[in-house]
Structure 1
């Protein structure tokens, strides 16, 4: 199966395949082939957040200079929010699930409708991998009516450390806008209550499907994980929240959502060096859609190199 032809992703409703759904006129899905593994990056939308969240530990003047150099507004920016669908063998794997319904963040929460627009039936998903359990990664599975459309034998893979953390989360090292800690805690607890019986916990590394391996990194959250794909000599890493746009030039800057910012910076530096050395593709949750690119490095300075879109 090849995701360059989106019709192959549908099992039940071929009548609308390839046709943009819901009258949308924005690009919201992008297909990549990794050997025999098919990958579809889907935009869940964007999150409007204060720019301070990019680097709460940094001199405001330095942060403002970076934003100006990047032609970004000084106070609020839209963070991209991406999820990934992977098809390996007979398994269809959703990596993260987007925000779901949140009236305070109305520009996101599009994953379910965009899966449908791509011809992907929720009932065809065999596995879900969660990079971590922040609400913008699990909320799509909490939308009313979604659980009933999923397979009863759906497997949800998440690091054991992540599930354990959200039983009593520690926000002491984060720097979030008011209300976010309570919202994150409530969403994680709701998710655990609704899906606990379908969780498949792993400690450090787990092969979800042929060539699809999820590995715990920690840092951003204790159980934060990345998903690495390998097939036929091709490789791609979905880095979740380990990497942000600002993190290439400034990997030591602390993101406001990081529960252990020092460890998150170490994870980011190690991962970027690995990706620069291997030349493999990178996709991440909060890089600009479709976020497919590579990492270049000169000395201690990293650079994100987006791929040229393949039409």
Structure 2
């Protein structure tokens, strides 16, 4: 499917505007970080960049005054109309299992050429797709499952691969409700088709869970709902170390304004409630956080002052 058509004026504008910056002077291969390794106790973790996704700035908070939203972006030296969202996935090794958490955007959308880098970056990190024993999907939006739909990927995966997703998420995409989202034109159809294709192609390997499931020692996936009905987070625990991969429960603006509604949220009020609860818990426990759309590698801690949170980047581990 090609999003580069007349039904996608806002997306095409964003893609063209951002991509124009990289036509000249961009080194090949890219001299930018694309993977970051750390330890959570005895658990090995690698955060891998799937690239960036250029979207309208309004997606940050469609329930607020545009002037307020533009001011927030300006304070961070960002353009008011286009925001580049990081796309992060995580590979975890624990108890003899290699677990891929989310699978990135895939290669289906030519208007988004700076996304969909997962396969090549796994290879650059020395990670063979055949070594992956489990996949955990925080939800079934296309920027989280698309990497599994790239031509040739399924043939390289293990036949006994287990794919863990909340049962409520799989059920939702049988007949998804987009009545409360605020997406650019074309996105609901693209999301619907991608989720349907994924469920059809990987049905035999799905391992649905109701509320939570321990994928490997110290690797627990828990349904939160909100962003989508079956949205889940993955919590790692080993020794005294803790790290949560929050998927799309937390966006950068969510620290300053957790009550702003992201355009992709299917239940904005519940998503805000989940966000606040999770951020308060992470702040209280001083637990590390990684999220899909925080700037790579996104490893941070959460500080809290009243109703406002703060993202405190963790020192890089060299």
| TM-score of Structure 1 vs Structure 2, range by shorter chain | over 0.9
Map Cα deviations across residues 97-151 of structure 1 (whole Å, 9 max, x no partner): 0000111211100011000000000000000000000000000000000000000
Deviation of the 1:234 alpha carbon: 0.2
| CA RMSD between the two structures | 0.7
Moved segments of 4+, more than 4 Å: none
Partner of 2:281: 274
What CA distance in whole angstroms lies between the structure 1 residues aligned with 2:254 and 2:306? 15
What CA distance in whole angstroms lies between the structure 2 residues aligned with 1:117 and 1:289? 17
Map Cα deviations across residues 207-228 of structure 1 (whole Å, 9 max, x no partner): 0000000000000000000000
What CA distance in whole angstroms lies between the structure 1 residues aligned with 2:84 and 2:308? 25
Partner of 2:296: 289
The correspondence of residues 26-175 of structure 1 with structure 2, limited to 5 A, is 26-101=32-107, 102-175=109-182
Residue 188 (str. 1) matches residue 195 (str. 2) = yes
Residue 255 (str. 1) matches residue 265 (str. 2) = no
Partner of 1:209: 216
Deviation of the 1:23 alpha carbon: 2.5
Residue 308 (str. 1) matches residue 315 (str. 2) = yes
**Number of positions where the alignment pairs a residue of Structure 1 with one of Structure 2:** 290
**Residue aligned with 1:84, SS:** strand
Task: Indicate the larger mover: 22-31 or 174-183.
Answer: 22-31
Per the normalisation by structure 1, the TM-score is: 0.92
What CA distance in whole angstroms lies between the structure 2 residues aligned with 1:72 and 1:161? 36
What CA distance in whole angstroms lies between the structure 1 residues aligned with 2:51 and 2:255? 22
**Residue aligned with 2:158, SS:** coil
What CA distance in whole angstroms lies between the structure 1 residues aligned with 2:315 and 2:97? 28
Map Cα deviations across residues 189-233 of structure 1 (whole Å, 9 max, x no partner): 000010000000000010000000000000000000000000011
Gaps of 5+ in 2: 1-27
The correspondence of residues 227-246 of structure 1 with structure 2, limited to 5 A, is 227-246=234-253
What CA distance in whole angstroms lies between the structure 1 residues aligned with 2:310 and 2:260? 15
Map Cα deviations across residues 76-98 of structure 1 (whole Å, 9 max, x no partner): 11100000000002000000000
Map Cα deviations across residues 20-40 of structure 1 (whole Å, 9 max, x no partner): xx8331100001100110000
**Residue aligned with 2:309, SS:** strand
Task: Indicate the larger mover: 99-108 or 167-176.
Answer: 99-108
Partner of 1:10: none
